[in-house]
Structure 1
Amino acid sequence: MQRIGILSDTHGTFDAELEAFFADVDQIWHAGDIGSLELADRIAAFKPLRAVSGNIDCGMTRRVWPEFAAFRCEEVQVLMTHIGGYPRRYDPRAVGRIQSVRPRLFISGHSHILRVAYDPVYDLLAVNPGAAGHFGFHKVRTAVRLTIDGDTMRDMEVGEWPRR
Structure 2
Amino acid sequence: MKIAILSDTHAKKHNDKLFRLIDTLFVDADMIVHAGDYISSDVVSKLREHKNFVGVWGNNDKGYIRDLLKEKVILSVEGYKIGLYHGHGNSKNTLQTAYDKFIDDKVDVIIFGHSHQPLVLTKNKILMINPGSPSYKRREPWYSYIILEIVDKKINVSLQLFK
TM-score range, shorter chain: 0.7 to 0.9
Distance 2:19 2:46 in 1: 10
* Bigger strand share: 1
Q: Determine the structure 2 residue equivalent to 1:109.
A: 113
Counterparts of 1:66-145 in structure 2, within 5 Å, are: 66-83=70-87, 85-86=94-95, 90-91=96-97, 94-95=99-100, 97-119=101-123, 121=124, 123-134=125-136, 136-145=138-147
Q: Quote how far apart the aligned CAs of 1:145 are.
A: 0.5
* Structure 1, unaligned runs of 5 or more: none
The answer as to whether partners of 1:36 and 1:58 remain within 8 angstroms in 2 is: no
| TM-score, normalisation: structure 1 | 0.83
Distance 1:150 1:69 in 2: 24
Q: Quote how far apart the aligned CAs of 1:38 are.
A: 2.1
Q: Determine the structure 1 residue equivalent to 2:4.
A: 5
- 53-62 or 143-152: bigger deviation: 143-152
RMSD across aligned positions (CA)? 1.9
Distance 1:52 1:17 in 2: 20
Distance 2:20 2:60 in 1: 23
Q: Quote how far apart the aligned CAs of 1:147 are.
A: 1.0
- CA change 1:60–1:94 in 2 (3 A) is farther
Question: What is the aligned-residue identity percentage?
Answer: 25
Q: Quote how far apart the aligned CAs of 1:135 are.
A: 6.3
Q: Determine the structure 1 residue equivalent to 2:91.
A: none
- CA change 1:143–1:54 in 2 (3 A) is same
The answer as to whether partners of 1:29 and 1:51 remain within 8 angstroms in 2 is: yes
